[in-house]
Structure 1
Amino acid sequence: MIYGYARVSTSGQDLANQLAQLKAAGCEMVFREKISGFTIERPQLKRAIGKLEPGDVLMVAAVDRLARDTRDLLNILHEVREAGAGFRSLAEPIVDTTSELADIVIAVLGIAAKWERGRIRERTAAGRARAREQGVKFGRKPKLTPHQQREALERILAGEPQRAVARSYNVSQSTISRLTP
């Protein structure tokens, strides 16, 4: 049986392209996840590997959809082999664990995927820095307006308990405690 595994990193991304590729390649069942490849805990991947029997194949649209870390990739492929199954990547046709050359190619691709992850981090950091320079604010909006924050701080400095001040604004005591110098 041919099983597929499709993964995207964020909820804003779409699995449709990977699913279409895997179905067209003959996958009878596709396990799907919206979780970072950088995370080791991927329940659907574990389910897919758990279903593998001798002679089965686990297929992905691209190696970077399976793992972005060389050790993680090699560990996953070891589990696939332990089940007696094979592995194929559609984007990298040379990656087929039924050949002896595949081990070398997979190791090289794992390293390339790890480098790509580093480049993604660099681009993301540069984008955040540009956004900050343009005045974009990150994080959640404060629960209290600047006026409410000043007012709450005045009340605390006047001796009113933090818990009472927090209750009056319908926020947690920790929100109020962060206002104090």
Structure 2
Amino acid sequence: MLVGYARVSTEDQSLDVQLDALKAAGCEKVFSEKLSGTTMRRPQLVQALEFCREGDVLLVTRLDRFARSSVDLHIMVEQLMKKCVGFRCVEQGGIDTTTIHGELMLGVLGAVAQFETKLRSERQREGIEQAKRKGVYKGRRATIDPVAVRRLLDEGKKPVEVARELGCNRASVYRLAG
């Protein structure tokens, strides 16, 4: 049985292109979700991995929809291989663990995907540092009103009560109070 898994990072993104590609590839069952790929709390992915049985093949459209690090990729593929389940990428045809060449390609592309993720993070960090030096980047806007914090503390409320009332973290109240 061909089993599909589709994922986008945010709620406002569409799964349609991936779902169409997986159905066109012959998937009889498809699991999908709208969650960040960097989190391991992806219930539909867990269900897809558990659903697959010996002889099945799990299909994804691209590796980055399945895993963001080579460690995660290899752990999940190892899990599938222990169950005698294949793994294949629809848009990256060389990735097919049912062949020896596909296993090699999987390792190479997994490493490239992890490299790209780290490179993107590094560029973002460099951009933020440059913006800070120019005085453009000042961080995220405050979501807690310091005047409201001060007023509630002056009324005799404890920081825990202020945090609960304002819907923020207790540490934020302490930071603003100090």
What TM bracket, shorter-length normalisation?
A: 0.7 to 0.9
Q: CA offsets, 1:96-146, max 9 Å, x none?
A: 11111122111111100101111221343355557764456515522355x
Q: Kindly tell me: are residues 48 and 179 of structure 1, through their superposed partners in 2, closer, same or farther at Cα, counting changes over 3 Å?
A: closer
- Provide the residue aligned with 2:2 in structure 1: 2
Gaps of 5+ in 1: none
Does the residue aligned with 1:178 lie in a helix, a strand or coil?
helix
Residue 156 of structure 2 is aligned to residue 161 of structure 1: yes
Gaps of 5+ in 2: none
Do the aligned partners of 1:69 and 1:111 also contact (CA within 8 Å) in 2?
yes
Do the aligned partners of 1:6 and 1:30 also contact (CA within 8 Å) in 2?
yes
**Separation in 1 of the partners of 2:176 and 2:156?**
13
Do the aligned partners of 1:162 and 1:177 also contact (CA within 8 Å) in 2?
no
Residue 80 of structure 2 is aligned to residue 80 of structure 1: yes
- Provide the residue aligned with 1:43 in structure 2: 43
Do the aligned partners of 1:5 and 1:32 also contact (CA within 8 Å) in 2?
yes
Do the aligned partners of 2:128 and 2:137 also contact (CA within 8 Å) in 1?
no
- Provide the residue aligned with 2:151 in structure 1: 152
**Separation in 1 of the partners of 2:53 and 2:173?**
57
Q: Kindly tell me: are residues 55 and 10 of structure 1, through their superposed partners in 2, closer, same or farther at Cα, counting changes over 3 Å?
A: same
Structure 1 residues 120-159: aligned runs within 5 Å: 120-126=120-126, 128=128, 133-134=135-136, 138-145=140-147, 148=148, 152=151, 156=154
Residue 116 of structure 2 is aligned to residue 116 of structure 1: yes
- Offset of 1:38 from its aligned partner? 2.0
Deviation larger for 14-23 or 104-113: 14-23
Q: If you compute each CA radius of gyration, which structure gives the higher value, 1 or 2?
A: 1
Q: CA offsets, 1:56-97, max 9 Å, x none?
A: 110000011111111211111111112222111012101111
**Separation in 2 of the partners of 1:139 and 1:86?**
47
- Provide the residue aligned with 2:32 in structure 1: 32
CA RMSD of aligned residues (A): 2.9
**Separation in 2 of the partners of 1:37 and 1:176?**
32
**Separation in 2 of the partners of 1:102 and 1:112?**
15
Amino acid in the other structure paired with 1:77:
V
**Separation in 2 of the partners of 1:180 and 1:42?**
38
Do the aligned partners of 1:94 and 1:105 also contact (CA within 8 Å) in 2?
yes
